[in-house]
Chain A
Amino acid sequence: MKRKLQSTTSKLLPAAAILALLAIWELVSDTGLVPKYMLPSPVDVCSAFVKDFPLLWENSWVTLAETFIGLALGIVIGFLMAMIMDFFTPVKKALYPIVVITQTIPAVAIAPLLVLWFGYEMVPKVILVVFIVFFPITVSLLDGFESTDKDTINLMRSMGAGKIQIFRYVKFPAALGNFFSSLKIAVSYAVVGAVISEWLGGFMGLGVYMTRVKKSYAFDRMFAVIFLISGLSLLLMLAVKLIQKRCMPWENR
């Protein structure tokens, strides 16, 4: 009973904080403390969202498609890299520094290059998302593979397990927890990555739409897009959480 009460308060608190923040914002905007054309009130943003919904909807699909394709490829590449590096130590020694270096290159800086190389269609966006996603996936999986208990691996060997069997039955499931926490980060990065690369050139997508409404100084519509993007990221993170629960039933006991 007490526990249930605690969990309701723990859900109520953040909701109350968000509502309070929105209320303050509404007040600041309505009283004219900050002029309306610079900071539209939450109500204005909502009405802009409703009015623009068909356009937003259309553009969301493009952004989401880029995000999903990029995510899928990023996960596959990250997984394969982590697996190869785990199986062959020399490969890990050779590639790991390069993997780290790729992450010191700011995504915003290579996005225009990608546009120049691959044009204005989907390809450069997907590549940028892959570039952003594969790193956390690779590193977290590799960490997970390496953190498996040496005694467990020895025991598996004593039962005649080969390298691939040890990977399948011990290392891979052991790394799942790591994988999902990095995936949660990766999905939100992926959406942002897709939007950033759309800013720099494209025909459709939330990023393209954003640059358009920016040019017309339509602040309320800008905010509507921002809300939508963060909403989409949140939904994706939630989806990851649900998938994790399905894939790791032992965690819920």
Chain B
Amino acid sequence: MNELEIKNVCFSYTGEEYVINNINLSLGEGELVSILGVSGCGKSTLFNVVSGLRKPQKGKIILDGEDITGKSGKISYMLQKDLLLPYRTIEDNVALPLILSGTKKKKARLAVQDGMKKFGLDGTQKKYPCELSGGMRQRAALLRTYMFSGKAALLDEPFSALDTLTKSEMHSWYLGVMDEIKLSTLFITHDIDEAILLSDRICLMTGKPATLSEEIVINEPRPRSRDFTLTPEFLAYKKQILSKL
């Protein structure tokens, strides 16, 4: 069954010209699908629509069989800025989605401990975001997103603000954790290497108004390792994508 379905979505800020036109995409359980496109092509607009912050003029968003078009609070996202609240400890930041939905603070804190361990954040519970490195903060932000919706998440260039070394470290970590948490993920990026390394499928977003012009399936079994980026198959995928962008 499809976890998340985007059906014929069109959206315009002004009501005249569409920014994104007729977007169709479905995301299966535990799948990671990337949307790859140049900056400013409408990727983030699509995210705002899927997360319910904006209502599309046409089309539907369906999560687990439920129509969530224009409804926020159903599917959460994560940006390149970690957006952790500086005045809450890491565990309280991560537990925030639970607290928002009415869980008592103590219970919420207990509920996130398992995730903290899985995400390699053990020991940072009582620390404040400013005491953590950029990579660790992104992990915490991802865990917060995961705590909110354990099924599907939208990641909008989550690693693009990190330096190259931290970024590649985060990729290795993410490849390891993604199979464990089985999160269906819609992943926005403008980094071709990142997209090939992490995705099951890559959708290219091109044109004005933007459409999903091409879908490329990455046939590489998971769990993958970083060495995948050094193989000829990887380069073949890259060539294929570059020729179509």
Contacts and interface: CB of A to CB of B under 8 A. Distances in A.
17 contacts: A149-B83, A152-B85, A157-B73, A158-B51, A158-B72, A158-B77, A159-B96, A159-B100, A160-B97, A160-B101, A161-B73, A165-B100, A169-B85, A169-B88, A169-B96, A169-B99, A253-B130
A176 B148 CA distance: 27
Interface residues of B, number: 26
Nearest to A252: B128
Nearest to B75: A158
B52 A158 contact: yes
A253 B96 CA distance: 21
A149 B75 CA distance: 20
B87 A176 contact: yes
Interface string B144-167: 000010000000000000000000
Interface string A212-230: 0000000000000000000
B85 A170 contact: yes
Contacts of B52: 158
Interface string A144-161: 000001011011111111
- The contact size tier of chain A is 20 to 34
A153 to B, nearest CB: 10
Given A151-B79, A154-B53, A159 B87 contact: no
Interface string A189-213: 0000000000000000000000000
A165 B97 CA distance: 11
Interface in A134-185: 149, 151-152, 154-161, 165, 169-170, 173-174, 176
Contacts of A149: 83
A253 B97 CA distance: 25
Contacts of B96: 159, 169
Interface of B: 51-53, 72-77, 79, 81, 83, 85-88, 96-97, 99-101, 127-128, 130-131, 148
Given A149-B83, A152-B83, A170-B85, A159 B130 contact: no
Given A151-B83, A152-B83, A250-B86, A158 B73 contact: yes
Contacts of B74: 160
Interface string A22-50: 00000000000000000000000000000
**Chain A interface main SS type:** helix
Contact of A161 (B77, B100, B128): B100
Contacts of A173: 85, 87-88
Contacts, number: 60
A180 to B, nearest CB: 13
Contacts of A80: none
Contact of A159 (B81, B128, B131, B148): B148
B130 A250 contact: yes
Nearest to A248: B87
Interface of A: 149, 151-152, 154-161, 165, 169-170, 173-174, 176, 248-250, 253
Contacts of B53: 154, 157-158
Contacts of A154: 53
Nearest to A160: B73
Contacts of A160: 72-74, 97, 100-101
Contacts of A165: 100
A169 B51 CA distance: 20
B85 A158 contact: no
A198 B74 CA distance: 59
Nearest to A249: B128
B11 to A, nearest CB: 16
A156 to B, nearest CB: 8
Contacts of B75: 158
Please indicate which of the listed interface residues B74, B81, B86, B148 has the most CB atoms of chain A within 10 Å of its own CB.
B86
